[in-house]
C-alpha cells in the first residue's frame, strides 16, 4: 500500500500539505481545556473499552473536560454521515475515529485532517508500532492517524462436530481444500457448508478468497496504481469465489454477520469466514453474547490459503484541521497511542494493541493467539479492502456494486470487469 499511496494524487495533495501547519506537534498546540471525541463505539465491549481509556485520560489530565460524542449504528455508517456534515460545515470535533488507511483519503484530500509526523516523532511512536503497519498507513510520506487497535479479517470459524461428520480431518489449508470440504459437507451431512449474511459479508469473503489464492504480495499489489485486475490469476480467484458462493444459502442476504456466525455455533453450518470480532460474540454472556465454548461449539483457523498473513484493519484517531481544542486533541492522541491506553481498551474491545510493547498477560483465549500472530517475526501484513485499509471510499462502493450484481447474475466475467473498472476509477 505504501507504493500506491506514494504514487497517488501528488498534485492534489500539494496544496493540502502546505496548509497543514506544524503537522500534529510543535510549540503551538492550542486550547487544551476540553476535547470532544467523535466515534461509533457505543456497543458492548467497545463502549467499555472507550470508558476505560477515558478514565485513564482524565486521571492523567484532570483539568481537561472530556466530551464523548459517540453515535451508534451500523459499523460507523451513521456516525460517518454526521461527521461528513460537520466537516463540511467547518464544525469538526477535536478528534474522530476512522479506519486507518485509504478510508481517510477523502479527508486528506479535502484538507480536513492534519499529518501527525511530528507527533509520532515527539512520542517515540515510529519504534512503538510495527514498521509494516506504518508503511501501510503512510500517504505521500506522511501519517494522518493514530491506530489504537488491530482486528484480523482473515479468520475461519468452524463447527468441529460437522467436520467430523463430513469426514474432514481439520480446517482446510488452501482454497482448493476449502472447496473440497464444502462439497463434503453438502454431500455427507445436509448442513449448510458456508454461512453468509448481508451483502457486505460477501465482500468480506471476496477479500479472503483473493488473498488465499493470490498470496500476500500479489493481493497487496491489487491496490496500487495501475494494478492488473484482468490477469489470469485474478480470473481463477474469482471463479473460486463463485464456486464457494454456490455453497452458501439462498436466504443469506436476509441476515447480518451475527446470524451467519451464529449458524456455525448452533450446529446449522460448517464454516463462516468473518473477522475476529466474532469471537467475542460467540463467547460473551447474555444479552449480547452467545455463551458458547471454544473447542466444543466452535474452533478457528486462518482463512484458507492465508496462514502466515495477518489481514488487518484498525480503528484510529485523527487531528482535524481547525479542531476547536487542538491541545486537547493532542492529549487524546497521546492517550490512544500509549501502551496504557491500548492495554485498557483492547481486552474489552476484543482486539489486540497496534503497539509492539503491550502487556501480553492481558490477552487470553483467542486474543492470546491473535497477539502472538500479530507480533510473530516474519508475519506478513495485508490490508483489508472492505474494512478501510486498501480501498478508497469510491472504490469500496464500486466493488460492493459489482459484488451485488454478481450475486444476482453469477457472471464471473462481469464481476471481473466491474472490479477492474472500480480500480480504474478509484482516484488513488
**Residue 381 within a domain:** no
Question: What's the maximum distance between 2 C-alpha atoms anywhere in the chain?
Answer: 69
Phi/psi of residue 105, each to 5°? -55, -40
Same domain, yes or no: 144 and 159:
no
- For 45-74, the pLDDT digits (tens) are 889 999 999 999 999 999 999 999 999 865
Point out the residues of the chain with pLDDT beneath 70: 1-28, 73-77, 250-254, 427-428
Residue tagged 514498521 (cell numbers): 131
| pLDDT of amino acid 285 | 85
Same domain, yes or no: 24 and 142:
yes
Same domain, yes or no: 322 and 285:
no
| pLDDT of amino acid 30 | 87
Gyration radius (Cα) of the chain, Å: 21
**Residue 172 within a domain:** yes
**Residue 278 within a domain:** yes
Q: How far is CA 103 from the centre of its chain?
A: 10
CA distance 337 to 95: 13
> What cell does 374 get?
500479530
CA distance 151 to 137: 15
CA distance 383 to 136: 8
Phi/psi of residue 158, each to 5°? -145, 160
Phi/psi of residue 114, each to 5°? -95, 150
| Peptide bond just before 209 cis, omega within 30 deg | no
> What cell does 95 get?
478528534
| pLDDT of amino acid 252 | 64
CA distance 298 to 264: 7
Same domain, yes or no: 239 and 330:
no
Same domain, yes or no: 92 and 47:
yes
Residue tagged 469465489 (cell numbers): 241
**Residue 71 within a domain:** yes
Same domain, yes or no: 212 and 348:
no
Residue tagged 467523535 (cell numbers): 38
| pLDDT of amino acid 9 | 35
CA distance 374 to 353: 9
List the 151-152 sheet strands across, edge first: 151-152, 309-313, 380-383
- For 279-326, the pLDDT digits (tens) are 989 998 888 889 999 999 999 999 999 999 999 999 999 999 999 999
**Residue 6 within a domain:** yes
| pLDDT of amino acid 255 | 77
Domain end, chosen from 375, 399, 416, is at: 375
Same domain, yes or no: 267 and 326:
no
Instruction: Say what the alpha-carbon torsion angle 375, 376, 381, 385 is, to the nearest 10 degrees.
Output: -60
Beta-strand runs (E) in 39-145? 65-68, 95-99, 138-139, 142-143
Q: What's the chain's length in residues?
A: 428
Task: Supply the range of the domain harboring residue 137.
Answer: 2-150+316-375
State the angle between helix axes of 339-349 and 326-337 in degrees (0 to 180), rounded to the nearest 10. 70
| pLDDT of amino acid 284 | 87
Same domain, yes or no: 73 and 138:
yes
**Residue 409 within a domain:** yes
Same domain, yes or no: 144 and 232:
no
| pLDDT of amino acid 208 | 98
Same domain, yes or no: 271 and 420:
yes
Q: What is the CATH number of the domain that holds 346?
A: 3.40.190.10
How crowded is residue 218: how many other Cβ atoms within 10 Å of its Cβ?
Answer: 17
Same domain, yes or no: 249 and 301:
yes
Whether residue 40 contacts residue 73, with contact meaning beta carbons closer than 8 Å, is answered with yes
| pLDDT of amino acid 234 | 98
Phi/psi of residue 142, each to 5°? -125, 155
CA distance 131 to 135: 6
CA distance 193 to 249: 9
> What cell does 271 get?
464454516
**Residue 340 within a domain:** yes
Number of H helices, E strands in the chain: 20, 14
| pLDDT of amino acid 79 | 86
Same domain, yes or no: 234 and 333:
no
Tell me how many domains the chain contains: 2
SS3 call for 123: coil
**Residue 382 within a domain:** no
Amino acid at each position: 500500500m505504501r507504493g500506491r499511496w506514494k504514487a497517488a494524487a501528488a498534485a492534489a495533495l500539494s496544496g493540502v500539505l502546505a496548509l497543514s501547519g506544524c503537522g500534529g506537534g510543535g510549540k503551538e498546540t492550542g486550547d487544551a481545556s476540553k476535547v470532544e471525541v467523535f466515534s461509533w463505539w457505543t456497543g458492548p465491549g467497545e463502549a467499555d473499552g472507550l470508558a476505560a481509556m477515558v478514565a485513564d485520560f482524565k486521571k492523567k489530565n484532570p483539568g481537561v473536560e472530556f466530551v464523548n460524542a459517540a453515535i451508534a449504528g451500523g459499523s460507523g455508517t451513521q456516525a460517518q454521515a454526521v461527521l461528513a456534515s460537520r466537516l463540511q460545515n467547518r464544525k469538526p470535533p477535536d478528534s474522530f475515529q476512522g479506519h486507518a488507511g485509504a478510508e481517510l483519503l477523502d479527508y486528506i484530500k479535502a484538507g480536513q485532517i492534519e499529518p501527525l509526523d511530528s507527533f509520532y516523532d515527539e512520542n517515540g511512536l515510529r519504534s512503538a508500532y510495527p514498521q509494516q503497519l506504518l508503511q501501510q498507513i503512510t500517504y505521500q510520506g506522511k501519517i494522518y492517524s493514530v491506530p489504537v487497535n488491530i482486528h484480523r479479517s482473515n479468520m475461519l470459524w468452524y463447527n468441529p462436530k460437522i467436520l467430523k461428520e463430513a469426514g474432514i480431518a481439520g480446517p482446510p489449508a488452501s482454497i482448493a481444500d476449502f472447496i473440497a470440504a464444502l462439497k463434503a459437507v453438502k454431500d455427507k451431512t445436509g448442513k449448510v457448508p458456508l454461512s453468509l449474511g448481508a451483502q457486505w459479508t460477501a465482500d468480506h469473503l471476496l477479500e479472503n478468497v483473493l488473498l488465499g489464492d493470490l498470496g500476500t504480495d500479489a493481493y497487496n499489489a491489487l491496490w496500487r496504481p495501475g494494478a492488473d485486475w484482468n490477469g489470469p490469476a485474478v480470473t481463477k480467484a474469482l471463479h473460486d469465489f463463485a464456486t464457494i458462493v454456490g455453497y452458501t444459502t439462498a436466504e443469506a442476504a436476509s441476515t447480518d454477520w451475527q446470524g451467519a456466525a451464529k449458524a456455525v455455533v448452533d450446529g446449522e453450518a460448517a464454516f463462516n469466514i468473518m473477522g475476529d470480532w466474532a469471537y467475542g460474540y460467540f463467547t460473551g454472556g447474555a444479552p449480547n453474547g452467545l455463551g458458547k465454548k471454544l473447542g466444543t461449539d466452535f474452533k478457528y483457523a486462518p482463512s484458507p490459503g492465508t496462514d502466515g498473513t495477518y489481514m488487518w484493519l484498525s480503528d484510529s484517531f485523527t487531528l482535524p484541521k481547525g479542531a476547536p481544542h487542538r491541545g486537547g486533541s493532542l492529549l487524546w492522541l497521546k492517550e490512544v497511542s500509549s501502551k496504557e491506553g491500548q492495554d485498557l481498551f483492547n481486552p474489552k474491545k476484543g482486539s489486540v494493541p497496534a503497539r509492539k510493547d503491550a502487556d501480553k498477560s492481558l490477552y487470553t483465549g483467542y486474543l492470546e493467539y491473535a497477539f502472538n500472530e500479530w507480533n510473530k517475526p516474519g508475519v506478513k501484513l495485508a490490508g483489508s479492502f472492505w474494512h478501510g485499509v486498501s480501498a478508497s471510499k469510491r472504490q469500496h462502493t464500486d466493488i460492493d456494486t459489482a459484488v451485488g450484481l454478481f450475486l444476482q447474475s453469477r457472471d464471473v466475467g462481469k464481476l471481473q470487469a466491474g472490479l477492474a473498472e472500480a480500480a480504474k476509477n478509484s482516484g488513488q
